Amino acid sequence: MLCQFAGEVIARGLGLPLPGPVIGLLILLAILVVRHGPDEDLRTTSTGLLRHLSLLFVPAGVGIVTQLDALERDWLPILVAILVSTALGLVVTGWLMQKLDRSG
């Protein structure tokens, strides 16, 4: 757990254009490769954290109340744009991946 935080802090401190957590992810992945896998503690912590991943998006989601004006004005274009583009994104990625992947 500590090594995750350390990774994050280092990544942020270096002022790289990528967000800290993404660099932290890469650092932890590199550590896992070198160490040949996570120990019991890290495995338990990460499983627990990831099981409640959806909860962590709630506070940002409630931020919707600060944007009601813009949403009210442009609700139709927003709704159509998000619905169609998300559907296209899912299908293009999934379909192409399945089509190209021969690694089984």
Binding to another protein (CB under 8 A) within 21-50 occurs at 21-22, 24-29, 32-33, 37-38, 42-43, 45-47, 49-50
- Binding residue for another protein, selected from 13, 15, 40, 66, defined by CB under 8 A: 66
14 is an interface residue for another protein by CB under 8 A:
no
CA torsion through residues 16, 20, 21, 26, sign: positive
- Would you say 64 and 71 are in contact if contact means Cβ atoms under 8 Å apart? yes
Tokens of 7: 């990774």
Residue listed under structure tokens 């270096």: 14
Least Cβ distance, residue 46 to another protein (angstroms): 4
